[in-house]
Structure 1
Amino acid sequence: MRCALVATFFLPNSSMDDRGGYHGYAATDQYAVDPHFGSLAELQELANALHARGMKLVLDTVPNHVGPHHPWVHDEPAANWFHGTLAHHLTASFDFSMLINPHAPERDRDPILHGWFANSLPDMNTDDPTVSQYLRQNTVWWIEETGADALRIDTFAFVNRGFWNDFHAELHLLFPRLTDVGEVFDQHPEITSSFAGGVTRAGIDTGLYTPFDFPTYFATREVFGEGKPMSTLAQVLASDALFPHPERLVPFLGNHDTSRFATAVPDTDAQRLAIAYLLTTRGMPQIYAGDEIAMKGGGDPGNRVDFPGGFEAGPEQGAFTESTRTPEQQATWSWFQQLLKLRREHAPLACGAEQVLDAGPNDLVYIRKGTSACSAMDRKSGEDGDFIVLQRAADPAAHSLMIELKNTAAEGCTPSVPVLGQAAFKQHDTQLTINPSTDVVILPCRFERR
């Protein structure tokens, strides 16, 4: 069995000039496919192949800026096409707290909304109605041409909320089933949540389906890479009330803007725990290509090297099959595969409600219950659940966990044989005692039918 993935996203649209940066976010033509990837016809072929497999295509889109070698830089289509000019412009600031602080002056917000990213990428004047319309129409064209199912929106927080309100109003009208996820690179839930659709405490509703779950990203790095208490993860979950739809959040362990997870968290036992948490906590997890084989890499551009065997290297030198993977790569692949299989077979792990039952320095126990956040076609009858036990200890068997279930979401849910890991357990009245023999245990449970 292969790893079970439901969607893939990349940045094929907008032709790039390599002089604008290795990163692929320096567009020179908004209506051309990046030749590194191929042609529009090949992109359409990819979309059809994904859909035939029941998978989704997510396009990466960047309304915030273009590349420094875009023809517009020296020949603007209209006056005020950009915020500033090549000679005179602000440099982008990353202090997003200024955007939600009602007492912050415009002086402190302007560099965020009008500054040139990295002091080199021309900032589109999304305050201008003509520019705004152009960017909306460009996005509509890409969706129609490719049949894209969703968008990944780069540098979301750097664009004014009025633009996003109009952007989503038009897209939702034309493509009612389209979803999108916005990049708000910040560890504070009070900041990331303020950009979610339905939130108006910082201004007009952006209409965004969901932001990325950067708070969980930062917490997993701290817990599994720096040894902070496991309860740090529970503290992030405690802020879910700030999001209208926390079940939509997209947690991840790393991406193309961060050091590789296997480099930041070199301990393989800690990696196992982190992967288990990613694939059993609420939300739709994102797996950065290569993390499934524990690829390593530091900051840009070391975190964006080709997948082994990709492009010029050839599959015989790569990691596409078990026979060509190293033992370390295969171990990580198998762990992802095992957890993804369970996530697919146990609906509560994918879309059940989540409640933390115990959180300590080295353990985290929670239950996923029911299928409340599932799509209508995936929703199951009944209220079954899964206990997830994560324990960071040299000898998990030396530790016993006693959990009081009364007045919790797990009350009345009788556990059965673990489907992952090993543990002895017994239940007396409303107290559940678990003696895990492994660092990760998943115990399915069933509620009494009345």
Structure 2
Amino acid sequence: MPNNHNTDVPHIVEKNDIHRIEPTNWWVGFKNPLLQLLVHHPNISEYVPNITYSGVSIEKFHKADSPNYLFIDLKISEDTQPGQFNIRFKNEGSEDLIQTYQLKDRKHSSEDFVGFNSTDVIYLITPDRFANGNPENDVVTGLNEDTINRHDDYARHGGDIQGIINHIDYIDDMGFTGIWSCPLLTNDMLESSYHGYAITDYYEIDPRYGSLKDYLHLSSELKKRGMKLIMDQVANHCGLEHWWMKDLPFKDWINHQGHYQENIENWQEGISKTTNHRRTTNQDMYASKADKENMNVGWFVSVMPDLNQKNPFMARYTIQNSIWWIETANLGGIRQDTYPYPDKYFMSVWAGEIMKEYPNFSIVGEEWSYNPLLIGYWQDGANNRDGYKSNLKSPMDFAMQRNIVNALNEEESWDEGLVKIYEGLANDFHYVTPKDIMIFPDNHDMSRIFTLLNGDIENTKMALGYILTVPRIPQIYYGTEILMNDFDKPGDHGLVRSDFPGGWEGDTVNAFTGEGLTEEQTEMQLYLKILLNYRKNSKAIHKGKTIHFAPENGIYVLFRIFEDEVLVNIINKNVDTVLLDLNRFNEIGLQGKTLKNIITNESLIWDDTLKLTKKGSLLLTTKF
């Protein structure tokens, strides 16, 4: 039931009669003039909404299956001015309900939202475990988990947004150019809510992390330093304690909804219809309908209801929520969790609408696959047999992560050891743009790289040196720089996400200042700092040509070349001294040139041979 807008702007009386309206505000000046409001209030379906504001019209409104919802389709014309207006809800025989709504002026043009790229290195943080900057928000009355216990790996420890803000200088000085924080939205779950992936309110910062003001402060402090804030979002599922689970708007708002409503006690006890995790069904031309359906509509785990993106109202809600956060927090990117699990055609629309509005933005999607064919499928521009267009710039390179670990752990042979990374990189022919793929040694869901490499420091340096020099966007998990590990229980999520030493008052070890670190930890921290800061200004790494030579005798050599800058990464697994014949690399044109060791600053002449006296990664550059 549309109403025509007019030029008369009535007097605004600020009122907030409605229980909940989302998005909580919007902006003028978007390329897409349409906005859909979710309104939740007792028996709101019995009311008719009306707006009188120049440039804003109600195109249509929709009742839901629950009487407590209305969905209002607005059109915001190109010449609409920012300001406030009242949405008046009328119901014959009842007093009008009035909700004041705000349209803001955009602070930045769409083109100004610049995402991450191969010039960046992203620092991944689990916020509850990084630093406690404001102990006053450790316990928030009224939330399900209202205690902290640093002795319990699955309890909350008190890390927060202010803790990240307090240590931005450390992160910047180390050489990182962006921060990806695990989700900071409210997770009002009964237990293990610290990780952030069971969201119970998509428009609220979890008060145990701080406030929206704190999040915006974090973003602005990063922008001052030319750094980017990447938001971890979850389109596939929410938390079982999400506010709408007590009053779902439609009968198909979540997948397996009928089963949930009939067996709510069983669901809460962990008896659920979970996904089969067969992600290949997204591409498999032989996959059964049953397997495909179970993959996409099964719940990720029993306490994370699977959202039904085929419901058009859920789809619009999710897209608008992402845009709201980009605009509100001036984001420098989105990391989308569990990318292959939702409806893949919805994910194409989701990414497409974001990139249409913000053409210079970046999105990275989590596809946990060790098969390059599957990774490449999700990258925008892929020539997929089924015609699928993802609109996703950056998938994640789990395949290369595994190759690196295997290559360094295995004994050398014709088809084992370093050949794994050589042939892994050779698979780049399959990718549309390899430099836009995100690579990493580990993350919050797997054992730390130092653990995976069996506590071998030189192997860890080789892994990191390789990750930071190949044509990719690197991500490093907090604590990697000080050899954090999970030796006691490899792969245990609570231990993988341990506290960063120095983030809490009274910590006897402080990695931010270096106090109490071992010699090995200090050396690793310095190694990464030197390499990261070199990488910041290396055009050879950012956009240079890549040439590598097949491993021989336990040595693998990679070159990155841009104009007169050549970077050389020599990965040597030999414990004893060996002579490397440099004539094999004559096509690079380094004969007689002086190169500098990036880590030690020592110089050498590229001659006929190079003596390698110990196992490790030798990083050389022609750039002085």
After TM superposition, the score normalised by the length of structure 1 is 0.88
Secondary structure of the 2:241 match is coil
Residues 26-45 of structure 1: matches in 2 within 5 Å? 26-45=198-217
Equivalent in the alignment of 1:6: 177
1:130 is the counterpart of 2:313 = yes
Stretch moving more, 214-223 or 69-78? 69-78
* 1:33–1:39 contact (8 Å) kept in structure 2: yes
Gaps of 5+ in 2: 1-169
1:398 is the counterpart of 2:578 = yes
Structure 2 counterpart of 1:211, one-letter code: P
* 1:418–1:441 contact (8 Å) kept in structure 2: no
Secondary structure of the 1:285 match is strand
Equivalent in the alignment of 2:596: 418
Indicate which of 186, 191, 206 corresponds to 2:390.
Answer: 206
Q: Using the alignment, how far apart are the partners of 1:235 and 1:97 within structure 2?
A: 22
Secondary structure of the 2:424 match is helix
Shift of 1:165: 1.7
1:414/1:210 Cα in 2 relative to 1: closer, same or farther (>3 Å)? farther
Structure 2 counterpart of 1:338, one-letter code: I
* 1:250–1:285 contact (8 Å) kept in structure 2: yes
* 1:388–1:442 contact (8 Å) kept in structure 2: yes
Shift of 1:424: 6.5
Gaps of 5+ in 1: 371-381
Equivalent in the alignment of 1:289: 478
Equivalent in the alignment of 2:324: 141
Secondary structure of the 2:529 match is helix
Secondary structure of the 1:323 match is coil
Q: Using the alignment, how far apart are the partners of 2:604 and 2:332 within structure 1?
A: 44
1:219/1:172 Cα in 2 relative to 1: closer, same or farther (>3 Å)? same
Structure 2 counterpart of 1:165, one-letter code: S
CA RMSD of aligned residues (A): 2.3
Shift of 1:317: 3.9
- Listed one character per residue, the Cα deviations across residues 197-255 of structure 1 (whole Å, up to 9, x for unaligned) are 11233542111111111111111221224555111001111111211110111111110
Equivalent in the alignment of 2:617: 440
- Listed one character per residue, the Cα deviations across residues 150-174 of structure 1 (whole Å, up to 9, x for unaligned) are 0011000112221122112211222
Q: Using the alignment, how far apart are the partners of 1:122 and 1:28 within structure 2?
A: 11
Indicate which of 497, 503, 510 corresponds to 1:304.
Answer: 497
Q: Using the alignment, how far apart are the partners of 1:59 and 1:157 within structure 2?
A: 18
Equivalent in the alignment of 2:13: none
Q: Using the alignment, how far apart are the partners of 2:571 and 2:369 within structure 1?
A: 26
1:330/1:443 Cα in 2 relative to 1: closer, same or farther (>3 Å)? closer
* 2:183–2:233 contact (8 Å) kept in structure 1: no
Q: Using the alignment, how far apart are the partners of 1:157 and 1:207 within structure 2?
A: 13
Secondary structure of the 2:438 match is coil
- Listed one character per residue, the Cα deviations across residues 30-85 of structure 1 (whole Å, up to 9, x for unaligned) are 11102231000000001000000110000000000001111333321222001112
Q: Using the alignment, how far apart are the partners of 2:207 and 2:410 within structure 1?
A: 41
Shift of 1:443: 3.1
* 2:435–2:472 contact (8 Å) kept in structure 1: yes
Q: Using the alignment, how far apart are the partners of 1:245 and 1:415 within structure 2?
A: 32
Structure 2 counterpart of 1:38, one-letter code: G
Equivalent in the alignment of 2:46: none
1:222 is the counterpart of 2:406 = yes
Shift of 1:363: 1.6
Q: Using the alignment, how far apart are the partners of 2:566 and 2:595 within structure 1?
A: 13
* 1:423–1:435 contact (8 Å) kept in structure 2: no
Shift of 1:385: 1.7
Q: Using the alignment, how far apart are the partners of 1:26 and 1:403 within structure 2?
A: 56
After TM superposition, the score normalised by the length of structure 2 is 0.65
Residues 162-241 of structure 1: matches in 2 within 5 Å? 162-199=345-382, 200-227=384-411, 228-241=416-429
1:73/1:401 Cα in 2 relative to 1: closer, same or farther (>3 Å)? farther
Equivalent in the alignment of 2:549: 357
Q: Using the alignment, how far apart are the partners of 2:470 and 2:191 within structure 1?
A: 38
- How many residue pairs end up in the alignment? 427
Q: Using the alignment, how far apart are the partners of 1:104 and 1:383 within structure 2?
A: 51
Q: Going by fraction, where is helix more abundant, 1 or 2?
A: 1
Equivalent in the alignment of 1:273: 462
Stretch moving more, 196-205 or 120-129? 196-205
Higher relative contact order (CA 8 A, sep 6+): 2
1:318/1:36 Cα in 2 relative to 1: closer, same or farther (>3 Å)? farther
Q: Using the alignment, how far apart are the partners of 1:290 and 1:141 within structure 2?
A: 31
- Listed one character per residue, the Cα deviations across residues 84-111 of structure 1 (whole Å, up to 9, x for unaligned) are 1224963112222222121212222122
* 2:364–2:396 contact (8 Å) kept in structure 1: yes
Shift of 1:360: 3.5
Q: Using the alignment, how far apart are the partners of 1:434 and 1:324 within structure 2?
A: 37
* 2:184–2:196 contact (8 Å) kept in structure 1: no
* 1:416–1:443 contact (8 Å) kept in structure 2: no
Structure 2 counterpart of 1:213, one-letter code: D
